[in-house]
Structures are given as C-alpha cells and as structure tokens.
Amino acid sequence: MKIAFVSDVIYPYIKGGAEKRFYEFALRLSKAHEVHIYGIKWWDGPPVLVKDGITYHGVCRPRTLYSAEGRRSIVEALAFGLALMWPLLKEKFDIIDCNQHPYFSIFTCKLATMLRGGRFYVTWHEAWGDYWYEYMGWIGFFGKLIEKVTARLAGRIIAVSEGTAAGLERLGVKKERIIILPNGISTAAIGGAPTGGEGADVMFAGRLIRDKHVDVLLRACAEASRKMPLSVLIIGDGPEKGSLEALAAGLPLKVKFAGAVDEMALYSSLKSSRVFVLPSTREGFSITTLEALACGVPVITVSGEKNSARELVVDGVTGRVVGLGEKELSDAVLDVLGDEARRKRMAAECAPAARKYDWDGLSELLLECYAKQTN
C-alpha cells in the first residue's frame, strides 16, 4: 500500500502525542509499505527528504504554532491547509490518514481522495464540542462548527480513546464510523533506557499550557511539603513557562524546570522519580502517562471529563484519579509517597498494565483498520 500521514507538526522536530503517533506508525509500516508524511518544513535543506524509509514532504515554511494567549494559530492552520493542496494532489495514495488538528487540512485531504481516489481517515485526538466557547469565547461558535463539519468528511474516524469516541458521538458522528485505536509506547526503548537520570519525588512532563494546570500542581506540592520534604521536576516547554517559574520561585518548594529533553532522558528521569502527576483537564490520550506507567511509576491524574489519561490509571492500583484542586492533589501526593511499601506495590502493577500498548501490536491493528475500511 501507498500511505500518506498528514500533520502540520512532525516528530521529532515538534514533540507531542499526535506527531509521535504518526512517526511511530510510519516507522513500522514503512518496512512493508510506501509511507509518506506531509507537514510543515521544520528542517533545513530540501523540502522532500527520505529518512528511515519514510518520505517527508515539507509543504510550507514554519510559522508560529501558538498565539501570545497560548491558542493554536488560525493563520498557521489556514496556511498549511492551502500549501498542502498541490503537493498532495501530485501523488495518488491508497490511504490518506490526516491528523484532526488543525482541521483545515482535513478539507484538503478530502478533496485529494475525491480527485485522486484512495481511502480517507482522520485520526481524532480530542472532541471539543462546547469547550470551544471556553477556549475562544463567542468566537468558539465557528470552531465548534468547523469541528462538526470536518468530523463528517472522513470515511472513518480513528479515535485515540474511549473518551474521544464518546465526544465524537456527541458531535453527531455515527458509532459505526468510529474506530478506537489508542496511542502507544515502545516497550523495548523504555526497557533499554538507562536508570539513574535526573529524577524527583514528583515529576511532570508535557507542554506548559494553561490546560495542564501545572500551577495547581506546584501549589499542591507546596502544601504537601509541609508534611514531608518534596522535590519537583518539570519537563517541557510552552507559553506558561515564565509565569510558572515565577510562581515556583515564591513557593517553599524545591523545583527544577528542565525544559524539553530527548526521549531517553525523559525515560531515565521517569525511572528515577517516585510519582508522575498529570493535572491536565484536556487530554485526548496522554502518551506520557503511558510512558510513566511503563517505567514503573505510579500516576496521579484528574477526573475531568475531557481528560482521557484517567482511562489509563486504575485508582488505588496504578495511581490515583482525583479532582482538580490543590487539596485533592496534595492529599493524593501524600497518599502515594507517604507509604513507600504501598507505592512500590503500585509501581509493580504499572508496567504490566502498559505492555498491551506497544507500537508494534498497534501497527498491526492499524493495518487491519485500513484493510477493512470502505468510504
């Protein structure tokens, strides 16, 4: 088969769950199929390059992904959708699989399959619905409208979690058009990562944006530190970094901001930490949560409806699922770290729970999805 993955952001130039998913699938599928990735040209050199058996197409120059307010740029989304048109139409693919964000590229991919043939999928990470109004105010009406329209364009939608699938149904997508196929991990890479990296009692890793609520985590850890000494490691970057550093400087708490790190360093830090905390209220899946579990680290996350990371954690067994609040998070941190024997029992349950999400097995399931689909 000739397969095209379409996403404005491309791993490893931009590191996030959506781009990591396409990269991992492309890497494995390219061993037996012709695989292309279309996105923004994040690299130096020619716009088309072949690496690890994958053909990369950079269709336009890089633009700022986020506005000053931390929202995804509409200008970037439109520019990518338009620039994608001609490069994609020059080729004929058996499969086009488009990342849901930033929506406008879905129209381009639909047109390409109408004119050139092939089967069309959209991989959906988050179904926002009414959250658009919280995100953009009254202008969110247009975001919600575009989301509903684009959700109807693909032959099938691949949802990364049960929560995302439920959100798509609320948008009016028929259940039979939705395939649930989660994100994954490389258990071999995690197993081979060195121990003894920079760790902490409490670790967070992710993009530093408002919806991750790292500020609540810091204040919760400061509260918990009144009862036991705590160190906190924050891995990642983003528009909230400056304000979070200022907050941490005023708290009676040992906090280190490590910035963005490579994959092996992340795994090494996880293996050297005692608990991983993700206080996010908006996660389509959360690969990092899965990576923490695979490293044998209990996870504390929150019970928000749009936080699908909670689907990966068994409360009281592999971590804790609690409400978003300083007291709730503080109590959960003390609950996990306050009894080391119990924390180790939780840790022993974590890795086995994560093994079924290995990318190798998920790649076979993806091929089965592609083989069965009819537009």
The answer to whether the beta carbons of residues 236 and 265 sit under 8 Å apart is no
State the Rg of the chain over Cα.
Answer: 21
Burial of 241 (0-12, 13-18, 19+ CB in 10 A): middle
Per-residue confidence (pLDDT) for residue 69, from 0 to 100: 67
For the chain, give me the number of helices (H) and strands (E)?
A: 14, 14
Q: How far apart are CA 6 and CA 231, in angstroms?
A: 40
Per-residue confidence (pLDDT) for residue 43, from 0 to 100: 96
Burial of 228 (0-12, 13-18, 19+ CB in 10 A): exposed
Per-residue confidence (pLDDT) for residue 325, from 0 to 100: 93
Q: How far apart are CA 363 and CA 25, in angstroms?
A: 6
Q: How far apart are CA 58 and CA 77, in angstroms?
A: 14
What pTM was computed for the model? Answer: 0.84
Per-residue confidence (pLDDT) for residue 133, from 0 to 100: 87
- Count Cβ atoms below 10 Å from residue 42 Cβ, excluding itself: 17
Per-residue confidence (pLDDT) for residue 297, from 0 to 100: 97
pLDDT (tens, 9 = 90+) of the chain, 375 residues, equals 999 999 999 998 987 888 999 999 999 999 999 999 999 999 999 999 999 999 999 999 998 887 766 677 888 999 999 999 999 999 999 999 999 988 999 999 999 999 999 999 999 998 888 888 888 888 889 989 999 999 999 889 999 999 899 999 999 999 999 999 999 999 999 999 988 888 999 999 998 999 999 999 999 999 999 999 999 999 999 889 999 999 999 999 999 999 999 999 999 999 999 999 999 998 888 899 999 999 999 999 999 888 989 999 999 999 999 999 999 999 999 999 999 999 999 999 999 989 889 999 999 999 999 987 555
Q: How far apart are CA 184 and CA 188, in angstroms?
A: 12
The answer to whether the beta carbons of residues 4 and 99 sit under 8 Å apart is no
Q: How far apart are CA 91 and CA 282, in angstroms?
A: 36
- What domains are defined for the chain? 2-184+358-372 (3.40.50.2000), 187-357 (3.40.50.2000)
Per-residue confidence (pLDDT) for residue 292, from 0 to 100: 97
Q: How far apart are CA 123 and CA 46, in angstroms?
A: 28
Q: How far apart are CA 284 and CA 287, in angstroms?
A: 10
Per-residue confidence (pLDDT) for residue 72, from 0 to 100: 78
